[in-house]
Chain A
Amino acid sequence: MYNTDMANVGSNVHRKDALEKLTGRALFIADQDIPGALFGVTVRSSIPRGRVRAVRFDPSFPWKEFVAASAKDIPGKNAVACIELDQPLLADGEIRHCMEPILLIAHERRERAYEALGHIEIEYEELPPVLDIEESAAMKAVVRAPDNIFKEFLIEKGELDAGFAQAAHVVEGEYRVPHQEQAYIEPNGAAAWFEKDGTLTVVGSVQCPYYVQKALKAAFDLPAEKVRVIQAVTGGAFGGKEDYPSVLAGHAALLALKARKPVRMLYDRAEDMASTTKRHPAIVRHRTGVDKEGRLLAQDIEVLMDGGAYLTLTSVVLSRGAIHAAGPYSCPNVRIRAKAFATNTPPNGAFRGFGAPQTLFAAELQMERIAEVLGMDPVEVRRRNAVVEGSVTATGQVLREGVAAREVLDLCAKRSDFARRRKAFDAWNKKAANPTWRGIGFALAYHGGGFTGGGEDYLASRAGVALDADGGVRVLAASTEMGQGAATIFSQMAADALGIPYEWVRVQTPDTFKVPDSGPTVASRTTMVVGRLVERAARELRAELEKSGSLPLISGGGARSGGKAVSRAKWNAAARKLLAGKPSREFITQYQRPPGIQWDDKTYKGDAYGTFAYAALAVELEVDKRTCEVRVLKVVTAEEIGRVIHPLLAEGQVIGGTAQGLGYALMENAVYRNGVMRNPHFTDYIIPTAVDVPPMEVLFIEKPYAYGGFGAKGVGELPMDVPAPAVCAALRQACGCWFTRLPVLPERIFAALPKKTGAVARRESLG
């Protein structure tokens, strides 16, 4: 049940964290005063695969000033515990990727610590590396026994052959997407120390404090009550601080153990970009059978992803990618074969969308191709196939409620004036004297909210609220504020569930000693899943206060019943009565699976997600005929995200995610040579600036989800799914070329244009 009597939910209250951030007072990990802390640095491998033969410390260097740590200093398992334990915390002889950590060095002064790196020499025995999906699939070398495959999924529905047999047309396509860097502006950083009682404390820029705790427990052989992980103000994450902080925290902690002092490690930009996780590169192949009217009859899809050297989160990235691979369409016969390969490159990990942007790029560009083969309007082809209530997805999930594919499609097509703009651009492109070619492109997607399949059951998240002696209410969740607005959203929900002003609610800084494990801050699950836990806990607290007789009953647990807010004095009196002298009382609730959800992990059939959110996007762009530069002119997007808890924050998520999607499409080019990123800087890995991002019109449709916090679905990842395919569709109209490989850089456009009609001809005519 969602509430319809809301004072804060649905309004643009001020962010809880705004004042600190706007006045420069917010303390990120680099800003915190940690007395006596040493600065730690990492010695990394310079080869992608091989063995360490010898490590030589320059004998003329004053090593006594330094602290060093290696794999043999690790008290527990030499592993970064994630899904598996395959990744060592420090390489112990064997090297599986460039930039693999081998040794750690600490010094009181940062510049001295960095200087030491130049006085260590590592001798390797090199082995032939496997550097990409194709080399790995061809078994150029076995880098993960027995077959280089981390994980494999098969999703089947209907009779594929029968579907193709009925098809009027069969359309094939291959799509390739590259690494993408999360490019949070604050690089990874963490500090660690051991308390006198042996408690390991870590403070860091982290998305998932309990993930870090889990990894530290294994590496340091400590029980949970001896590992405390506290989130520092986090300067962006986007998935990039989901699993990697476990590595960094382990390193800082190991140095702290050796040094018997606090140790802080802050990556600089180059180290962060070259060493930490990226979006998985992928090759996606489609073979699609359609009837004469453009209805999908058969989809045969192959998804290949590059996991990098260790598993980290790859199996779940692949899972989400595979489940989304058929797009938001209804098709009776589907086969999706997905594989993730091991390569000798730094592990790839989480990045907004988590596998789905890769496969949806392919699915959407494939729809464009189908439309062209049929000579149909691309929006209309989508409309005919878009899921509706009762549609069955590739995993056999019957979509029961909140289906909005057609609604977002229609709204976006209408507001972008898609059909008319397309015609106008066709006319523009016919005039040879115009300096640019123009195009408008469209894309449609859905994105599952929360963990895939039985994931939420497995997490069994807990979150809640505490009533404190001063009458304040404190939100208790491990879900982190990293810019997206979690602290604000939780406060709005708690306030409305309690019927009190937003200002009376505060949020406990995530700290594994103070908050329950509400699961990782990922998968568009925070507002939807954890918000629901906060809402339920707040309602329990309200019910307790009402039972005590000092607060009026409010019908349906709604806010400000009868339009009259409770006074702070009355509230405080009620709080005192309930607390009965105690400083605080916690109300914690646990995730309950919504009724009717079934998932079979063995057959990969069932309800992959509790619900899906929907997005459609239209983009207008122009291509300079001489330079082939692309200028994005305008974006219109319609997104259905359940109840919109905070319109301004939601819009911020959509615009920010769309900007990242435009970067993915047109700019962000991670260049890998010998298995390592060669352009790990903002100078040469280009992300969009204010000038590159066009004005965007964002439209929301609300179909409240009965089991989300106040009716919310997830919004974080959804906007990442649609920009890239829409851009490539627009480029098709503008240039007449299919761009099936990202990013579409000017030089790739130049190379793709027909020699006589393209930029070359134009350039010649200019002399």
Chain B
Amino acid sequence: MNKVSFTVNGKKRDYRGEPFKRLLDVLREDFRLTGVKEGCGEGECGACTVLLDGKPVNACIIAVCQVQGRAVETVESLGTPTRLHALQKAFLEEGGAQCGICTPGMLLAAAAHLREGGKTDEDSIRAALGGNLCRCTGYQHIVRSVQKAAELLRPRGRDCGARAAKSPRSARSSGRGKRDRS
């Protein structure tokens, strides 16, 4: 049997078996990390996005033998219901998740973008999420969620100790909440 050793969410893991098994199936079936979703099986939709050495990849088109010695992160490493990651908190507040099937992949693609210091203007975030399809949201609330997470993650003290003054909500283009009662 072939052995492939790598870390998953910081834990050392050994996989023994078919070396060309999809990383997606190894994570879901062998390690029961079902937060990794399959939407298309051909690297188009991004539902199976995981981080490989910090970079977002489609786990459905990666053979497990390709991750020997590398670090894999899944949504399960981000946060728990009682200790949400800033991105999860922002998705909760800003309506970033609807049906939830694209959400784990979306969160990881966003996490990679923010971690590497990606720009947080709307166009940059849209480009960073361009490999992740969502059919529910039309993306706007996801983009807004990522901007809000960036605010939450911004180290305090940079703005003379005050929290970032400008919330993404005040800067956004959409008119949520503008309701004309009649």
Indicate with 1 or 0, residue by residue over A9-34, a CB within 8 angstroms of chain B CB atoms.
00010110111111111111011000
Residues of A within 8 A of B (CB-CB), count: 69
Q: Which of chain B's residues has its CB closest to A10's CB?
A: B179
- A residues within 8 A CB of B125? 690
Asked if B41 is an interface residue, CB under 8 A from chain A, the answer is: yes
Interface centre among B33, B94, B175 (most CB of A within 10 A): B175
A482–B99 touching, CB < 8 Å: yes
B140–A655 touching, CB < 8 Å: yes
A702 and B182 in contact, given A18-B97, A23-B75, A655-B138 (Cβ under 8 angstroms): yes
User: How far in angstroms is the closest Cβ of chain B from A186?
Assistant: 4
- How far is it, in angstroms, between the C-alpha of A20 and the C-alpha of B122 when the chains are bound? 27
A28–B37 touching, CB < 8 Å: yes
Q: Which of chain B's residues has its CB closest to A681's CB?
A: B42
Asked if B135 is an interface residue, CB under 8 A from chain A, the answer is: yes
- How far is it, in angstroms, between the C-alpha of A186 and the C-alpha of B102 when the chains are bound? 8
- Interface segment out of the listed A436-444, A581-589, A693-701: A693-701
B95–A23 touching, CB < 8 Å: no
Indicate with 1 or 0, residue by residue over B131-153, a CB within 8 angstroms of chain A CB atoms.
11111111111110000000000
Asked if B7 is an interface residue, CB under 8 A from chain A, the answer is: no
- A residues within 8 A CB of B79? 22-23
A651–B95 touching, CB < 8 Å: yes
Interface of A is mostly: loop
A23–B142 touching, CB < 8 Å: no
Asked if B181 is an interface residue, CB under 8 A from chain A, the answer is: yes
- How far is it, in angstroms, between the C-alpha of A50 and the C-alpha of B134 when the chains are bound? 39
- A residues within 8 A CB of B42? 269, 681-683
Chain A 682-735 interface residues, beta-carbon cutoff 8 Å to B:
682-683, 687-691, 693, 695-703
A656 and B41 in contact, given A23-B81, A184-B99, A696-B140 (Cβ under 8 angstroms): no
User: How far in angstroms is the closest Cβ of chain B from A553?
Assistant: 29
A185 and B44 in contact, given A22-B91, A655-B138 (Cβ under 8 angstroms): no
Residues of B within 8 A of A (CB-CB), count: 66
B135–A687 touching, CB < 8 Å: yes
Q: Which of chain A's residues has its CB closest to B123's CB?
A: A691
- How far is it, in angstroms, between the C-alpha of A58 and the C-alpha of B140 when the chains are bound? 52
- How far is it, in angstroms, between the C-alpha of A655 and the C-alpha of B134 when the chains are bound? 12
- How far is it, in angstroms, between the C-alpha of A216 and the C-alpha of B93 when the chains are bound? 40
User: How far in angstroms is the closest Cβ of chain B from A115?
Assistant: 14
Asked if A41 is an interface residue, CB under 8 A from chain B, the answer is: no
A699–B178 touching, CB < 8 Å: yes
- A residues within 8 A CB of B97? 15, 18, 21-22
A268 and B137 in contact, given A236-B101, A651-B174 (Cβ under 8 angstroms): no
Asked if B74 is an interface residue, CB under 8 A from chain A, the answer is: yes
B98–A485 touching, CB < 8 Å: yes
- How far is it, in angstroms, between the C-alpha of A515 and the C-alpha of B144 when the chains are bound? 36
Asked if B34 is an interface residue, CB under 8 A from chain A, the answer is: yes
- A residues within 8 A CB of B141? 648, 651-652, 655
A701 and B180 in contact, given A185-B99, A687-B133 (Cβ under 8 angstroms): yes
The listed residue (B28, B33, B138, B182) touching A703 by CB distance below 8 A is B182
B44–A683 touching, CB < 8 Å: yes
- A residues within 8 A CB of B135? 182-185, 236, 238, 656, 660, 687
Q: Which of chain B's residues has its CB closest to A658's CB?
A: B138
Asked if A647 is an interface residue, CB under 8 A from chain B, the answer is: yes
The listed residue (B45, B143, B175) touching A690 by CB distance below 8 A is B143
Chain A 655-693 interface residues, beta-carbon cutoff 8 Å to B:
655-660, 681-683, 687-691, 693
Asked if A483 is an interface residue, CB under 8 A from chain B, the answer is: yes
A22–B142 touching, CB < 8 Å: no
Indicate with 1 or 0, residue by residue over B144-182, a CB within 8 angstroms of chain A CB atoms.
000000000000000000000000000001111111111
What 9 A-B pairs are tightest by C-beta distance, nearest first? A24-B35, A483-B99, A235-B101, A21-B100, A659-B138, A655-B138, A682-B44, A483-B98, A31-B34
Interface CB pairs A-B, < 8 A, 15: A22-B107, A23-B76, A24-B76, A26-B100, A28-B37, A183-B135, A185-B99, A484-B98, A648-B176, A651-B174, A652-B95, A695-B122, A697-B173, A701-B180, A702-B182
A sample of 16 more A-B contacts (CB under 8 A), given A185-B102, A483-B136, is A23-B75, A184-B101, A185-B134, A269-B42, A652-B138, A655-B137, A656-B137, A659-B139, A682-B133, A689-B132, A691-B126, A693-B140, A695-B173, A699-B178, A699-B180, A702-B179
